[in-house]
Amino acid sequence: MTFPVPQEKPARRLNYAEKRKAGLVERKARQALRKVSRTHEQRWNRYRGWIKIAMHGLARCERCKKHKAGDLQPHHTHGRSGDNLFKVIPLCSTCHAWVHEFPNEAYAEGWLQPEYRNVQRQPNYPQPFTLLPPP
């Protein structure tokens, strides 16, 4: 009775560092990771171009109705997700800060819309204020 000859264990493959040390491969150039996806970058580039056109020539704040041409900021009443990114109204920096500092009053006056509340918060994210119930 003859026994089969045991097979030899195959040699372990060299990893990249070992191949470099042995001179089998050249060093790879490192490539930086993208900070945002191409789709996201294209969306924001489209938004920036659109906002320049939309805000150009506007000379007054929608809330206080004062002429503050150089001080206007785009305010997203419905949040910035999806197509809501393009639902904006011009507010001066003072009024814009007020809207985000006092959201209950802003919801009551219509400067923030209920869709803005649908954004899911992180579970451990502290909520600095209590929101009004949806209308």
CB 108 within 8 A of CB 132: yes
Reported as a single tens digit per residue, the pLDDT across 68-109 is: 767 788 888 887 777 777 788 888 888 989 988 888 888 888
Query: What is the sign, positive or negative, of the torsion defined by CA atoms of 40, 91, 94, 96?
Result: negative
Domain ranges of the chain: 59-135
Query: Residue 121: what pLDDT?
Result: 47
Query: Residue 69: what pLDDT?
Result: 65
The pTM of the full predicted model, rounded to 2 decimals, is 0.55
Closest by alpha carbon to 90, among 104, 105, 77, 103? 77
